[in-house]
Amino acid sequence: TSAFTEVPYSAPEPLVKVLNKCAKDQNPNKIDVTIGVYMTEDGDSSYVFPSVKQAKQELLVKDPGHCYTKMSGVPEFIRGSQNLIFGEYAKDGRVASIQTISGTGSLHIAFQFLRSIGYNRYYLGNPSWVNYYPMIESIGGEIKEYQYYDNLTHEVDFESLEKAIREAEPQSAFLIQLCGHNPTGVDYSKDQWRQISKLVKNREILLVIDSAYLGFASGSIYEDSWAIRYLYEQNHEFLVCQSYSKNMGLYSERSGVIHVVLQDTRLRDNVESRLVAIFRNECSFAPAYGARIGAKLLNDDYLNKIWGKDVYSVYERVTNIKRQIFNKLTDLETPGNWEFVTKAKGLFWFSGLDKNQVNRMMNEYSIYMSENGRVNIAGINSSNIDYFCYAINKVVS
């Protein structure tokens, strides 16, 4: 008999069902606003940023080959990533960092590392990225929830976070998205970050900052990474999980970094060595190609400027689309106040459509979105926006 007869089927997450149905749909008006990838005005998700294109050309001309890199990753990529978000503070030597398998891999190393120091309880805002749950559960972590979002005001429910922090036991971690929140598109304000800083001070609570959409919220990497430098200035110890999937469009190259901010530079070598050891056990060496592209975008002044423009152009396009959605829904006299679409940050808009309305969008209009009503704004463009708004108007009227 087979050793594997007892293996049960592991159901994919619900979004996969939607994606499969979408792929089979022949309706020429079909719109796909499901997964969080950038698409151009032409609906192209294979778009490569001009900065990345140029970096790839340079790598072709001056080919570094494919030999193993350093155990901790491509050094220039890691250093550039530190400089990007910590600025001048990167020189202090208070940050231990290694390369990871993109944002997901960074989070996974964070969870493994925190477990190894006795932190294995995670507070998650609801709703949040669905993958956090199985990732934490698979390493035996405990999950507690607070309300992230207020469905009525379309703003963060800060009181719920505040209460959760006040009541949290020592050795808890709060997993908080930096900006361009998935799925709500609603972020903590600077003032709220200041309050978070005060609330966690001297509490044996670690913040794990998930940075998956850096630059897309305001169009500026520097502005979007403000909270990281603020927490640093307040002398906190915290973790940052950095993904370049979206803001460099390096999705399948799996390029990311984990940073552990320490109060004492003397702790850095030990912490970094622990991170390397965890990574070594699971993956050995990190993939280099995306990291080399990233290193060029981060360290070369010229490419860095172009990359900044690339990021801004994503911001500009999605901001423009949100404004147009608002105008069109207003023109259609769609019931309700839709101004909140213009306030959404980054790729996502949490439309507020309920399950039934989401199903109608899918079954009657061939418009596919996450079942919680999340819309990837980048899937909307000038040729489908009228139909999109027409359908929303129909399902809510």
What letter would DSSP give residue 263?
A: S
Binding mask 179-198 for ligand PMP (x = CB under 6 A): ---x----------------
Angle between helices 301-331 and 385-396 (to 10 degrees): 40
Give me the least distance between CB of 129 and ligand PMP, in Å please. 4
Q: Residues 73, 80, 103, 290: which binds ligand PMP (CB under 6 A)?
A: 103
* 225 binds ligand PMP, rule: CB under 6 A: no
Q: Residues 69, 72, 99, 177: which binds ligand PMP (CB under 6 A)?
A: 177
* 77 binds ligand PMP, rule: CB under 6 A: no
Give me the least distance between CB of 337 and ligand PMP, in Å please. 27
Paired tokens of 270: 């030990």
Measured from the Cβ of residue 396, the count of other Cβ atoms closer than 10 Å reads 17
Catalytic-residue membership of 129: yes
* 129 binds ligand PMP, rule: CB under 6 A: yes
Of 32, 129, 187, 296, the active-site residue reads: 129
Residues 6+ apart with CB under 8 A from 336: 352, 396
What letter would DSSP give residue 11?
A: P
Under 8 Å between Cβ of 240 and 103: no
Catalytic-residue membership of 210: yes
Q: How many CA atoms lie within 13 A of 385 on its CB side?
A: 19
* 243 binds ligand PMP, rule: CB under 6 A: yes
Distance, CA of 224 to CA of 185 (rounded, Å): 13
Residue 127 or residue 219: which is nearer to ligand PMP going by CB?
127
Residues 6+ apart with CB under 8 A from 386: 328
* 102 binds ligand PMP, rule: CB under 6 A: yes
Specify burial of residue 46 (Cβ count, 10 A radius: 0-12, 13-18, 19+).
exposed
Residue nearest to ligand PMP (CB): 103
Of 32, 157, 187, 210, the active-site residue reads: 210
Residue 141 or residue 256: which is nearer to ligand PMP going by CB?
256
Under 8 Å between Cβ of 171 and 118: yes
Distance, CA of 122 to CA of 111 (rounded, Å): 9
Q: Residues 51, 99, 104, 319: which binds ligand PMP (CB under 6 A)?
A: 104
Give me the least distance between CB of 71 and ligand PMP, in Å please. 21
Distance, CA of 127 to CA of 105 (rounded, Å): 21
* 224 binds ligand PMP, rule: CB under 6 A: no
Using only the alpha carbons of the chain, give its radius of gyration: 21
Select the span of 86-94, 99-107, 115-123, 188-196 touching ligand PMP (CB under 6 A): 99-107
Please give the helix or strand (H or E) that residue 150 lies within, else none: strand 149-150
Give me the least distance between CB of 102 and ligand PMP, in Å please. 3
* 36 binds ligand PMP, rule: CB under 6 A: yes
Catalytic-residue membership of 310: no
Select the span of 14-22, 26-34, 102-110, 385-393 touching ligand PMP (CB under 6 A): 102-110
* 78 binds ligand PMP, rule: CB under 6 A: no
Select the span of 101-109, 275-283, 306-314, 366-374 touching ligand PMP (CB under 6 A): 101-109
3 state SS of 339: coil
Q: Residues 112, 197, 245, 376: which binds ligand PMP (CB under 6 A)?
A: 245
Distance, CA of 127 to CA of 146 (rounded, Å): 9
Distance, CA of 131 to CA of 107 (rounded, Å): 10
Active centre residues (catalytic)? 129, 210, 246
Note the residues at the interface with ligand PMP (CB under 6 A): 36, 102-104, 129, 177, 182, 210, 212, 243, 245, 251, 256
